[in-house]
Amino acid sequence: MTQAIMLQGTASDVGKSVLVAGLCRIFYQDGRRTAPFKSQNMALNSGITPDGKEMGRAQIFQAEAAGIVPDVRMNPVLLKPTSDRKAQIVLMGQVATDMDAVSYHAYKPQLREQILSVYKSLAQEFEVLVLEGAGSPAEINLRDRDIVNMGMAEMAQCPVILVADIDRGGVFASIYGTLALLHEHERARVKGVIINKFRGDVALLYSGIEQIENLTGVPVLGVMPWLDIDLEDEDGVALQKGKYLRTGKRDINIAVVQVPHISNFTDFNALAAQPDVRVCYVRQPEELSGVDLVILPGSKNTLGDLVWLRESGMAHAVMQAHRQHVPVVGICGGYQMLGETLIDDVESGLGTLPGLGLLPTTTQFAQHKTTTLVDGTMSPVLPGWLSAASGLAVRGYEIHMGETTLQDYCQPVVQLNKNGHYVADGAVTADGLAFGTYLHGLFDSDDFTRALVNGLRQRKGLSPLDPTFHYAQYKSQQFDLLADAMRKHIDIEKIYTIMQQHQESV
């Protein structure tokens, strides 16, 4: 019978996703066939499974930590906000509809049986399942239709560990308050607490830990320190807190424009991991001063974010940087924004708007959503600073609802292999100072990224660096560092005991 454990939080962004990944890595290291599971994920960071299904990036990197291939069953419901009140609903990897929050709350009970069925199918294939909640189980206004916190724990009949973030302050109040707002049968599921993101001498916490254990009857299983480990974040909350503002001197400075509906900002983790690169996420025009490359990222509301670029002055700043011969790159929605015309009566409903005009392209949005993993080859002859990337192999994934056409004289930037047929993708200007592509994950291709960064180095009169950095190995090392830290600071044997005892009791 499958063992299971669920991590729930006292709030959003307390570090549940990372700790789930760490447990997945530990169980994998211990020889257990393990999978992550999050019934409902609200995030604009998503990825594609080998069979072309869309799921949250957090569950993809958790699957990587577990040493398995991502499977859409690990995240059956994905909510992708398109505005403050509406979200695209992705069910089992495919777009179902758009809903506002009230409509979706009413709709959730219809998903329970499907979610439970998916969970059971995973349980038949894995020895251990590590579940993740969303937000807090103490959101009492949502309790009656919950499918992701205690509602999911009850469906899975699994024990719960509560994660609390001490870095935001009030950690003991958040632990006590969360447990106090749970029903008695829900509190009975909570078998332990992990205090996360601690900075300082843990001895200062001992008296508080003793009191909170006496008050709640729930043991604290460990205190995780603030870790300087490079792992993916679930969504843009990390950007709002400035987590991705890279400090320190680097040879190459890259600015990613932080549009309001930024999606898949994990595209740039591989760039930021390069030893000579500093990546900053910027929202103010003056922040583009002195950068070596400007990137327009993906967006879940491309035309809405294009309007924001103009109203905020960022569009003018991007164009000014380009006139000063700073290269500009667009990924997915950013690629669309670099074109001449965008026509959207589907995603934003804003109709036809002019793009930034750096690429001679037109994008027409459609109801169909392209979701696929792809391999490709960069164009055989790329201009200017991109020349060293000519003909290099790349791979990544597509997630977009628009189709972009190029004018006859425009050169595509990459040839993608789609089921044995090579299809041109993206566009690049004759001088190489602007290019765009639909290919998410492009920078995970080590040789391409090193060639691109070395091209930027050459523009500054710097010598190239050897292509010795391998991003996949780097990520694996980060998972191992996380697992080592969790073994040191959390009672993992107690977690094994909790899972074993609960398995025997159900």
User: What sign for the dihedral angle of Cα 415, 416, 420, 423?
Assistant: negative
Partnered with residue 280 across adjacent β-strands are: 255
Helix axes 314-323, 302-312, angle to 10 degrees: 80
For tokens 């469906």, name the residue: 155
In b/e form, how buried is each residue of 24-51, taking b as 16+ CB within 10 angstroms? bbbbbbeeeebbbbbbbbbbbbbbbbee
Q: Which segments of 355-505 are extended strands (E)?
A: 361-378, 393-406, 414-418, 421-425, 427-428, 434-437
In b/e form, how buried is each residue of 386-411, taking b as 16+ CB within 10 angstroms? bebbeebebbbbbbbbbebebeeebb
Reduced to 3 states (helix: H, G, I; strand: E, B; else coil), residue 254 is: strand
Q: Which of 24, 158, 280, 332 is catalytic?
A: 332
Is residue 36 within 8 Å of 20, Cβ to Cβ? yes
364 CB-contact burial (10 Å; exposed 0-12 / middle 13-18 / buried 19+): middle
Question: Using H for helix, E for strand and C for coil, what is the string for 17-63?
Answer: HHHHHHHHHHHHHCCCCEEEECCEEECCCEEECCCCCEEEHHHHHHH
Is residue 411 within 8 Å of 428, Cβ to Cβ? yes
In b/e form, how buried is each residue of 167-180, taking b as 16+ CB within 10 angstroms? eeeebbebbbebbe
Residue 457 sits at the vertex; the CA angle it makes with 455 and 462, to the nearest 5 degrees, is 135
Classify residue 220 by its DSSP letter: E
Please say if 410 is a catalytic residue: no
Q: Which of 261, 322, 400, 440 is catalytic?
A: 440
State the Cα–Cα distance between residues 292 and 325, nearest whole angstrom: 9
State the Cα–Cα distance between residues 167 and 199, nearest whole angstrom: 8
Reduced to 3 states (helix: H, G, I; strand: E, B; else coil), residue 402 is: strand
Q: Which segments of 57-168 are extended strands (E)?
A: 77-81, 86-91, 94-100, 128-132, 160-165
Please say if 158 is a catalytic residue: no
State the Cα–Cα distance between residues 59 and 307, nearest whole angstrom: 32
Residue 429 sits at the vertex; the CA angle it makes with 425 and 433, to the nearest 5 degrees, is 115
Residues involved in catalysis: 332, 440
